[in-house]
Amino acid sequence: GENVEQHPSTLSVQEGDSAVIKCTYSDSASNYFPWYKQELGKGPQLIIDIRSNVGEKKDQRIAVTLNKTAKHFSLHITETQPEDSAVYFCAASIRSGGGADGLTFGKGTHLIIQP
């Protein structure tokens, strides 16, 4: 089955600096890669996703890049703010022929924004 590795497990950056979280996946058939943000006491919230036919996607301060050859994808957050502090999860999935598909998640990165 699919295996997703995520690094680092903890990332501390100064407010205003950029943060980068990296993930690798094992199954070359994976074709959907979402990123989730989880705040304390809440469920994961989808913040951005990318499909395998795209190399990069950007939404305001958040961007995701995908390298299918190397089987890795990254989340980039620019101009970090205190409200960006949370746990971030990457995930991967194989879109099969029919029906819904579950996600395989990384272990998460605890992002800490230092004021």
Partner 1 sequence: ETGVTQTPRHLVMGMTNKKSLKCEQHLGHNAMYWYKQSAKKPLELMFVYSLEERVENNSVPSRFSPECPNSSHLFLHLHTLQPEDSALYLCASSQDRGQGWYEQYFGPGTRLTVT
Residues that bind partner 1 (CB under 8 A): 4, 31-32, 34, 36, 41-46, 49, 51, 89, 91, 93, 95, 98-108
One DSSP character per residue, 81-102 reads -GGG-EEEEEEEB---SSS---
Q: Which is nearer to partner 1, 73 or 89 (CB)?
A: 89
Distance CA 35, CA 89 (A): 6
Cβ 79 to partner 1, closest distance in Å?
25
Cβ 62 to partner 1, closest distance in Å?
15
Distance CA 85, CA 48 (A): 16
